Amino acid sequence: MRFSLITFSSAALIGLLTHSALAAPVSSLVLTPGGYHASNKVHPVPTGGRVSHVGSDIHVLDTSDNLVYIATPTTTVATPEQTGSVTDAHWLNTGSIPIYFFLNTWNVPPVPATWHGQTIFLFNAIALSTFEASLQTVLQYGGSAAGGGEYWAVATWYLYGSEAFYTTPVEVTPGQSLATSIELIEVNGTVYDYLAAFDVAGTELGVNGGEQLTLTTKTLESYGVTEASDYPTGETEFSINILLYNNDFAPVSWSVVDDPADGLSTTVNTNSGDGGVITITY
């Protein structure tokens, strides 16, 4: 099947190289918004393409459904404590009705005052509670396996086990308003199809044939930060709506992880699936 994106509007520690499951030398590791992966386990997805679970493999398909690559993931993954996760809010859907829409709006932060080759990821995600799979809409400053540099850019990522898949980063400007959607497209028994994107052309990524994703997160990750001015100043406020598959708003109760030693925090301003508000302060 092909996807069509529904138009919408809607009112933790510096990274450590501890992804021990990667049987690869340090020189072959590359950065993702889920820690370091072996370079041959990180794959671009063509614009308009998607990934599809086929048995124990994941197929990368282009916009015409031509097969581009077959990845065979292993299941060991890094937990947030083994990545560069600094502060986050998270909510696990323990109910019987799956998440339908995870909608977010926020503004691109200022560029950090200093540049030391750091990478900052600021993202919304729906994941498995085991962290084996995570579908993420990612705002990135600095470089990663997908590219990037001394500027902000957006891309969509799908992490599954040892594998990572990404759309080409698109540069955005400080102060620019962003909106993201992670949407459940179809359910067939225990098989789930998702679609995630920013309201920025070229960021759409579909995931077919996966498992139900139940853990929503809003996360700040960083790597290579050497001083406070390597982060942006101020705060980033997220406006959030989470709908369940029956079109009811989710009974959200966010939990928070902070990094008080470095003055980084996440605040739940409005604890709701209908017009929720969360702020990350740098």
Q: Tell me whether residue 20 is in a domain.
A: no
Contacts of 273 (CB under 8 A, 6+ apart): 240, 241, 242, 243, 249, 250, 251, 252
Structural domain of 248: 26-281
CATH of the domain at 81: 2.60.120.200
Question: What pLDDT is attached to residue 75?
Answer: 72
Residue 148 falls in which region: left (phi positive, over 0), alpha (psi -120 to 50) or beta: left
Reported as a pLDDT band with limits 50, 70 and 90, residue 80 is low
Q: Tell me whether residue 132 is in a domain.
A: yes
Q: How far is CA 47 from the centre of its chain?
A: 18
DSSP string, 41-104: GEEE--TT-EEEEETTEEEEE-TT--EEEEE---S----GGGTTEEEEEEEE--SSSPEEEEEE
Contacts of 7 (CB under 8 A, 6+ apart): none
pLDDT tens for each residue of 29-72:
999 999 999 999 999 999 999 999 999 999 999 999 999 999 99
Q: Tell me whether residue 162 is in a domain.
A: yes
pLDDT tens for each residue of 167-224:
999 999 999 999 999 999 999 999 999 999 999 999 999 999 999 999 999 999 999 9
Q: Tell me whether residue 262 is in a domain.
A: yes
Q: Tell me whether residue 117 is in a domain.
A: yes
Which two tokens mark 239?
């406006």
- Cα separation, 52 vs 73, in Å, equals 13
Q: Tell me whether residue 182 is in a domain.
A: yes
Contacts of 278 (CB under 8 A, 6+ apart): 89, 218, 237, 238, 240, 254, 266, 267, 268, 269
pLDDT tens for each residue of 220-266:
999 999 999 999 999 999 999 999 999 999 999 999 999 888 889 99
The 3-state DSSP class for residue 39 equals helix
Domains identified in the chain, total number: 1
Question: What pLDDT is attached to residue 78?
Answer: 59
Q: Tell me whether residue 10 is in a domain.
A: no
Q: Tell me whether residue 46 is in a domain.
A: yes
The 3-state DSSP class for residue 4 equals coil
The end-to-end CA distance of the chain, in Å, is 42
Reported as a pLDDT band with limits 50, 70 and 90, residue 74 is confident
